[in-house]
Structure 1
């Protein structure tokens, strides 16, 4: 009575601690393959060097410096055009983008001239775009990556621009006083690029800064796990396989002569009804709170599919392993599922073994579908397609596995009997 629960809880809760603390302890230290787009729209410019003119493209120099300086093992920097960047944002393939505008070289040239000639000038701009639908933590990582990269770019471009201005001034006509760079101009030249942080398509009100998809997916997952446990227990009580307690009293019906296979079919049928009811109730609550988005039909249909897949899988596990199935369900759907969901910390900012779990863990698949529906207009490429097909795959595994194991038990005559009483009778 002491040793068994202590050992089981020590193993299960240690796994829980390892998964959750490793998940959140060092996201930037665990960064790997974090996808960001780099867009260079700069068309170049012709500048006066004092001895003539020169065609320059500072945007290309900045882009090349970013590609060379970005740690390849941490950041997956994709050099693309603006239309491709938009597509990658829309389909949730990247967390953000660094955009160099078409007039970057022109503005940088004007900045150099303006350092010695009076007049109003503006620093050239580089935009660091974040994809808010990917979650608030990912936006912070994008801004930090962009800020660190832009600091180095500012240093290199500032040194180059200052040198060009000094060379131009040194080439003044003989006898003419050489203009000097003022102290204020030198400060401007040392930090010539203005970095603007911008959200790509800000989320609507009620999106919870990009967290509602995670919590909606969590609700569906918990409804499937808890619902399966409740249906399993209550159906077994009605069939007489276990007592039902009411305070100090309990009811224990006579066991019903029914096969394991037909018992599982009853539980699956009840779970399907529960899935529809709970999904509609969740939608009602979400509508009242203003978090349901603009795709309510897709939201409720996907919720039903995901809830049925999770619920039927949990019941197949209980049918196969009995009480031990509760621990298996807890491990698969909760302990391993939440850290690998990518709902709060991006999967590319977690340890690689957690990222590997995300390839098949149910929570991640449900989250991708919910995120697509709530933030990306139910775009299949943004995760809804994967969410649907992985839910169908999970449902197929549950159906095949559940039918196979219960049919096998029935075929072998392994009926639901009390082993203690059976041994006494045999003796």
Structure 2
């Protein structure tokens, strides 16, 4: 072997692996290291149901609505560049939580002002009272990582609300005491209660049942579907090429290279597509059977099987078309598209709103994100079209059309140009 060829033997694989692994490290680690830094447009609802109340003031009864004041304070203090705080009704909030469009909600109840007023009066006149309540909802079905982000945002904001309300309520009660007994101020247990008057309840909206991996089962099921399509296509291509005599096969020390079947690139691709379609239906059924036996709740097995088979077939067909168009390089293209760029932009582990913007751009067309959204809609949101299933089906369908078109155009072009898959004698050294 000549010296340049020796260098090529070492340099080519080293350079390719180094570049691919560097890209893998940059995309994977870049998406998880600092979610707070990249947080933007994180959707949380603010529901103010407070009807207000007439409160005795220094100059007589006056109408007040502490819920409005709290809502204004939250809007002013929660950073708008990071959080999309949407003031909605409870009906709209519940609907959007049920579709995974919101990561949480802050709800001020209708009797908030009344309870706050009674708490202040009880600090002057003894009596049993309940502290006013604000409920901070999280949405476990929108993603487990989103729960932590939501709790951090609402916890910090409501802590400030509690402090502000406490200062205001304490000052009001002290004024009342001073009017009755000059020089008297609130003290003891009453002062402690008034300092933090609001009882903040943390509640999960529609909690997930056991067996969902704390909200990660949809992500991992989607990952299985993508790997079935990507890895399955690689295996199918290798085995079919070997069976048709286009590539050798090694069984340990035995080397087999059958005589070429002599069929066109297009017909070869059709065979691979057919095998992939059968595999899509089979593997999707196997996934459902295995995960069901392992205890994963599957509320609609038929819909999950149909979508899973569709996703596996689409990814497999597209991956096979890429390999048919680009040859060995197609393996690297598939690895980058379906795995390296797909996983960090899926939104399954970390919400896209907490990742660098490039991942949100990739998610617009990356298959992994579409498959995750569809699987999550079936597993967590009763197969609701509005929860992303319709979008996932449409995007997967577009992906299938792109894959079919690429395969037909590339193989037909190669066949028309006489670029057949035949062995050539090596050039003399």
CA displacement at 1:92 relative to structure 2: 1.1
For the pair 1:327 / 2:325, whether they are aligned, the reply is no
Q: How does 1:278-317 map to 2 (within 5 A)?
A: 278-317=283-322
**CA distance in 1: counterparts of 2:305 and 2:390, whole angstroms:** 15
Which residue in the other structure is 1:24 paired with?
32
TM-score, length of structure 2 as denominator length: 0.96
**CA distance in 1: counterparts of 2:299 and 2:231, whole angstroms:** 28
Q: How does 1:399-414 map to 2 (within 5 A)?
A: 399-414=404-419
For the pair 1:415 / 2:387, whether they are aligned, the reply is no
**CA distance in 1: counterparts of 2:418 and 2:185, whole angstroms:** 98
Which residue in the other structure is 1:200 paired with?
205
**Among residues 80, 105, 118, which one is paired with 1:72 in the alignment?**
80
Runs (4+) off by over 3 Å: 176-180, 418-421
How many residues are treated as equivalent by the alignment? 421
CA deviations over 1:214-257 (Å, ceiling 9, x no partner):
00000000000110000000000011011111100011101111
CA contact 2:46–2:107 (8 Å) conserved in 1: yes
For the pair 1:372 / 2:394, whether they are aligned, the reply is no
For the pair 1:98 / 2:102, whether they are aligned, the reply is no
Q: How does 1:113-128 map to 2 (within 5 A)?
A: 113-128=121-136
**CA distance in 1: counterparts of 2:175 and 2:425, whole angstroms:** 96
CA displacement at 1:290 relative to structure 2: 2.2
CA displacement at 1:122 relative to structure 2: 1.7
**CA distance in 2: counterparts of 1:204 and 1:397, whole angstroms:** 38
**CA distance in 1: counterparts of 2:401 and 2:358, whole angstroms:** 26
**CA distance in 2: counterparts of 1:328 and 1:40, whole angstroms:** 51
CA displacement at 1:420 relative to structure 2: 5.0
CA contact 2:244–2:258 (8 Å) conserved in 1: yes
CA displacement at 1:169 relative to structure 2: 2.1
Which residue in the other structure is 2:221 paired with?
216
Which residue in the other structure is 1:169 paired with?
177
TM-score, length of structure 1 as denominator length: 0.96
Q: How does 1:351-390 map to 2 (within 5 A)?
A: 351-390=356-395
**Among residues 252, 257, 260, which one is paired with 1:255 in the alignment?**
260
CA displacement at 1:47 relative to structure 2: 1.0
Q: Secondary structure at the match of 1:122?
A: coil
**CA distance in 1: counterparts of 2:255 and 2:313, whole angstroms:** 31
**Among residues 134, 150, 157, which one is paired with 2:158 in the alignment?**
150
**CA distance in 2: counterparts of 1:155 and 1:287, whole angstroms:** 48
CA displacement at 1:5 relative to structure 2: 0.5
**Among residues 37, 44, 49, which one is paired with 1:36 in the alignment?**
44
**CA distance in 1: counterparts of 2:214 and 2:193, whole angstroms:** 35
For the pair 1:107 / 2:107, whether they are aligned, the reply is no
CA contact 1:283–1:292 (8 Å) conserved in 2: no
For the pair 1:133 / 2:138, whether they are aligned, the reply is no
CA deviations over 1:1-31 (Å, ceiling 9, x no partner):
1100111011100000000111110111111
CA displacement at 1:171 relative to structure 2: 2.5
CA displacement at 1:180 relative to structure 2: 3.4
Task: Answer with 212-221 or 115-124: which moved more.
Answer: 115-124
CA contact 2:46–2:88 (8 Å) conserved in 1: yes
**CA distance in 2: counterparts of 1:240 and 1:379, whole angstroms:** 47
Which residue in the other structure is 1:8 paired with?
16
Which residue in the other structure is 2:242 paired with?
237
**CA distance in 2: counterparts of 1:138 and 1:22, whole angstroms:** 18
**CA distance in 2: counterparts of 1:170 and 1:47, whole angstroms:** 18
